[in-house]
Amino acid sequence: MPQTLKPDTPAGTPAAGAVAFRRQVLPQDALLVRRVVESTGFFTPEEADVAQELVDEHLMHGAACGYHFVFATEDDDMAGYACYGPTPATEGTYDLYWIAVAPHRQHSGLGRALLAEVVHDVRLTGGRLLFAETSGIRKYAPTRRFYERAGFSAEAVLKAFYRAGDDKIIYRLEVA
């Protein structure tokens, strides 16, 4: 049975319906994930392809593929999701590959709730570290603030990683 949460809403915003979290990957999730990723305006079409491909990979190979998901649904629609998995050749280290929230649910606490679900799952498996990466360009300043407010610390900056002038920032969170 999915867990239910009513995230905090900013002052003056009408309270939305309850959000249910599920981990089971369903065939329709590939397109729903793509839609959420595209709707944010943060990702390129190639990145949206990758987000969709990870869902397809899980559908074909199950949990053995190494990609795990938490989906946040509201009124039978996807409000956001997170994708994470163990980092190969490590002990207790995980990567947060994706976390995205549909624009109508941003700033509602849903991103924090999704991250809390991921951290909970990682702890249950004996995980000790969770890494996330993002871009260093101005557009991603809200993403960096999100990670920092969630307790992540910036561990590395890879200059011009994505393209000239676009650094990769790697964040680290101790979950154990």
Q: Across residues 26-53, what is the average pLDDT?
A: 96
pLDDT of residue 17: 62
pLDDT above 60 (res 11) = no
Residue predicted with more confidence, 37 or 18: 37
> pLDDT digit string (tens) for 138-162?
999 999 999 999 999 999 999 999 9
Structure tokens belonging to residue 62: 């199950």
pLDDT of residue 176: 87
pLDDT above 60 (res 1) = no
pLDDT of residue 7: 38
Mean confidence (pLDDT) of the chain: 91
Please tell me the distance from the alpha carbon of residue 43 to that of residue 32, in angstroms, as a whole number: 15
CATH for 20-174 is 3.40.630.30
pLDDT of residue 10: 33
> pLDDT digit string (tens) for 74-95?
988 999 999 999 999 999 999 9
